[in-house]
Amino acid sequence: MADSGRPGVIRRFFTWLFSPSARWSVFALLLVGLIIGFVATAGTQVAMAVTGSNEFCGTACHSHTQFVYPEYKASVHGKNRTGVQAGCSDCHVPHTYPAKLIYKAQAGIRDAIAEARGTISTQEKFEAKRWELANHVWDEMKANNSANCRTCHTPEAMDAAKQNEDAVKQHKKFAAGKATCIECHTGVAHKEPEEPKAPVKTSSLQ
Ligand code: HEC
Ligand code: HEC
Ligand code: HEC
């Protein structure tokens, strides 16, 4: 009766939300904001680390567990004399922000859809698609002058005295800006895919 003129609960909530706080000090509000900010930032970092691990990239999808991961593990970047590895994301994902977040969101959605559709679910389908997939990677790496390779391999730090003649000669082309790493070094973590002799038939039942 006496309450009939009182605004509804939603209205009261908004009035409360936008009115200055009487109970909380500015410090308390700042602290809450900082905690939320910290949790969001730390959460993003944890999510990046978990979804960037070899374990996740190598086993989250059936196709990668079957064909991609075993090949990588046997390659020079997965197993070698000194035991220093390059992980999937070291080569495939940008190392800087926000490029890393954008790339992961786009690739994550595209790969999840492809996995659900079974685009490369059998060895035959994978082999048929491989040339195209590899070309995507090569194009990306050519476009950024093999930036990810160079996060580990610094040409200026290479000891020419310890490389063979051919390597020293060829690496001068990189220094001169005439060729980038990926133009000469393909198949460093996977089997080198073969160029199809004829265009792949999309109507095939494979
Ligand atoms: C996370 C660091 C890292 C990244 C990224 C990386 N590599 Fe390597 N790479 C290594 C290490 C470590 C070795 C040496 C392994 C060993 O001890 O023999 C190596 C070895 C090599 C070799 C010598 C292969 C051989 O058979 O001896 C080549 C060529 C090479 N990398 C090219 C590349 C190219 C091209 C890329 C980018 C597509 C790349 N690397 C990205 C760390 C990296
Ligand atoms: C124009 C071609 C060419 C380019 C560009 C090039 N390389 Fe090489 N690289 C070679 C050749 C050829 C060898 C010697 C291969 C051999 O002996 O088996 C070699 C050898 C290597 C080795 C092994 C050295 C050793 O002594 O074991 C590494 C590592 C390497 N290159 C990394 C790179 C990286 C990283 C880049 C880009 C910054 C790059 N190369 C650019 C042609 C090239
Ligand atoms: C040393 C750098 C490097 C590492 C480490 C690496 N890749 Fe690759 N990846 C490449 C390059 C370069 C290509 C293009 C084809 C080629 O040259 O082998 C490629 C191609 C691919 C392809 C396309 C199909 C094919 O075989 O060409 C898939 C899928 C792939 N990588 C997934 C992965 C996964 C998953 C991992 C970790 C288990 C991984 N890669 C580790 C450099 C790397």
Q: How far is the CA of 175 from the centre of ligand 3 (A)?
A: 25
pLDDT in tens, 169-201: 999 999 999 999 999 999 999 999 988 887 655
Q: Does residue 5 carry a pLDDT above 90?
A: no
Q: How far is the CA of 82 from the centre of ligand 3 (A)?
A: 21
| Cα(199)–Cα(158) distance, integer angstroms | 40
In percent, the amount of the chain with pLDDT more than 70 equals 94
Q: How far is the CA of 91 from the centre of ligand 1 (A)?
A: 10
Nearest protein Cα to ligand 2, atom 41: 181
71-75 long-range contacts (CB < 8 A, ≥24 apart) are 71/189, 71/190, 71/191, 72/189, 72/190, 75/188, 75/189, 75/190
| Cα(186)–Cα(174) distance, integer angstroms | 15
pLDDT band at 206 (very low <50, low <70, confident <90, very high): very low
Residues with CB under 6 A from ligand 1: 76-77, 80-82, 84, 86, 90-91, 146, 148-149, 151-153, 181-182, 185, 188
> Which residue is associated with the tokens 């509000």?
29
Query: What domains are there in the chain, each with its CATH number?
Result: 25-184 (1.10.3820.10)
pLDDT band at 167 (very low <50, low <70, confident <90, very high): very high
- Give the closest ligand to the alpha carbon of residue 161: 2
pLDDT in tens, 44-71: 999 999 999 999 999 999 999 999 999 9
